[in-house]
């Protein structure tokens, strides 16, 4: 320890001296660091320990400790508190593992009503059962203690992360079939195998977008005003007029979009879309339809209609939970980002007109959507 009879010199660099002066005059830094900065500055200038204690108003032991840390480990260490553990931890690793094991289960497993553990709920359960489990120290553990144990193991039992289980046993096969359609469309578009066709064939991606809301205004929109209001002003309140469903398909060769807007999306509405496709393409052509497993696509009514047009339609199903493989989803995304965004109407009829008008605008400048990544890791 530094003393009156044996004092080592504390030599400060210019940067260290400047830093200590700034810290000593600070009004926002912790008081203990301000006091230690004054101690180190005074000691480096040759001020006695007694004088430092009188000037700064601190005890001599604090001054000795600050100087010893600075001489041993540097000026920065002299400013900081030395970490020390006053006693060995009372919660053992086995006790922590027990808490984590409970957190990795559900309250339901213990006959409780909750689906997930809350921190307070887990803390209460741990406290109640700690003695019987052989960890009496945890009987008084609070929420902060339980939280630290969970945080050390990166466990958050109060949250849910959703995932999608692959439930279709034919997922890989169906995926390959869809990708083969997209690959063939790309080849046909480049004109490389046109001579291989015995009859015209057209590929169309089809799906429905149900529940499109017809939302109306309760007050007129306010236009932007230069220098005053940069955006359109709109009342928070709104009126619901109902919903409509968009049944749409996109020609994968030309980008042409077919769309029917209906109040519902039953078999009869889907058959209406098939009739639209049937009337659009030449009579001798095969229409290959990429679609999901919605009940309307395979209902008795739909099958009865397809039976009246033998060889006209060819289904290619996307796998269950694999609707993202259907390129018509790109069309729905484009609709949502353009004319459906922030749309306000006075009725469902007006919404239908606006949607059909938007599709007409799309078809005026069609976009051919291409599937570029054909390797999805399927076997």
pLDDT tens digits along 286-315? 999 999 989 999 999 999 999 999 999 999
By the 8 A CB rule, do 96 and 152 touch?
yes
Q: What is the token pair recorded at 241? A: 């007029």
Q: What is the token pair recorded at 206? A: 């089809």
Q: Which residue has the tokens 């019987």?
A: 132
Q: What is the pLDDT of residue 192?
A: 46
By the 8 A CB rule, do 119 and 145 touch?
no
Is 90 exceeded by the pLDDT of residue 106?
yes
Q: Which residue has the tokens 């519902």?
A: 264
Is 60 exceeded by the pLDDT of residue 376?
no
User: Could you give the C-alpha distances from 376 to 175, 178, 188, 324, 373, in angstroms and in order?
Assistant: 9, 12, 22, 12, 7
By the 8 A CB rule, do 167 and 251 touch?
no
User: What predicted TM-score, i.e. pTM, was given to this entire model?
Assistant: 0.61
Q: What is the pLDDT of residue 308?
A: 95
Q: What is the token pair recorded at 33? A: 């660091």
Average pLDDT, the chain: 89
By the 8 A CB rule, do 260 and 269 touch?
yes
Residues 99-113, mean pLDDT to the nearest whole number: 94
CA distance 59 to 52: 9
Q: What is the pLDDT of residue 197?
A: 56
CA distance 242 to 29: 61
pLDDT band at 195 (very low <50, low <70, confident <90, very high): very low
Q: What is the pLDDT of residue 259?
A: 96
């Amino acid at each position: 320890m530094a003393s009156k009879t044996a004092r080592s010199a504390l030599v400060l660099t210019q940067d260290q001296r400047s830093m200590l002066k700034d810290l000593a005059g600070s009004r926002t830094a912790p008081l203990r660091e301000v006091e230690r900065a004054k101690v180190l500055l005074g000691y480096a200038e040759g001020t006695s320990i007694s004088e430092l204690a009188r000037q700064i108003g601190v005890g001599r032991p604090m001054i000795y400790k600050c100087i010893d840390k600075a001489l041993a480990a540097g000026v920065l260490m002299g400013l900081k508190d030395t970490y020390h553990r006053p006693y060995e931890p009372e919660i053992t690793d086995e006790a922590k593992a027990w808490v984590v094991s409970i957190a990795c289960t559900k309250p339901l497993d213990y006959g409780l009503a909750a689906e997930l553990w809350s921190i307070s709920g887990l803390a209460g359960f741990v406290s109640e059962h700690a003695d019987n489990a052989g960890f009496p120290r945890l009987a008084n553990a609070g929420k902060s203690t339980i939280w630290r144990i969970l945080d050390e193991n990166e466990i958050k039992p109060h949250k849910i992360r959703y995932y999608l289980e692959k439930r279709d046993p034919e997922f890989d096969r169906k995926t390959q079939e869809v990708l083969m359609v997209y690959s063939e469309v790309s080849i046909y578009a480049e004109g490389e195998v046109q001579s291989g066709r015995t009859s015209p064939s057209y590929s169309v991606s089809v799906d429905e977008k149900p529940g499109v809301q017809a939302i109306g205004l309760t007050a007129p929109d306010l236009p932007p005003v230069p220098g005053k209001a940069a955006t359109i002003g709109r009342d928070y309140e709104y009126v619901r007029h109902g919903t409509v469903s968009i049944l749409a398909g996109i020609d994968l060769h030309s980008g042409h979009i077919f769309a029917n807007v209906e109040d519902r999306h039953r078999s009869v509405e889907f058959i209406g879309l098939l009739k639209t496709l049937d009337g659009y393409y030449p009579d001798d052509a095969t229409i290959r339809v990429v679609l999901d497993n919605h009940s309307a696509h395979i209902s008795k009514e739909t099958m009865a209609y397809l039976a009246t047009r033998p060889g006209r339609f060819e289904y290619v199903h996307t796998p269950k939970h694999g609707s993202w493989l259907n390129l018509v989803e790109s069309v729905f995304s484009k609709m949502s980002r353009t004319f459906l965004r922030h749309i306000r109407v006075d009725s469902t009829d007006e919404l239908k007109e606006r949607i059909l008008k938007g599709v007409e605008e799309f078809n005026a400048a069609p976009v051919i959507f291409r599937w570029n990544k054909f390797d999805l890791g399927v076997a």
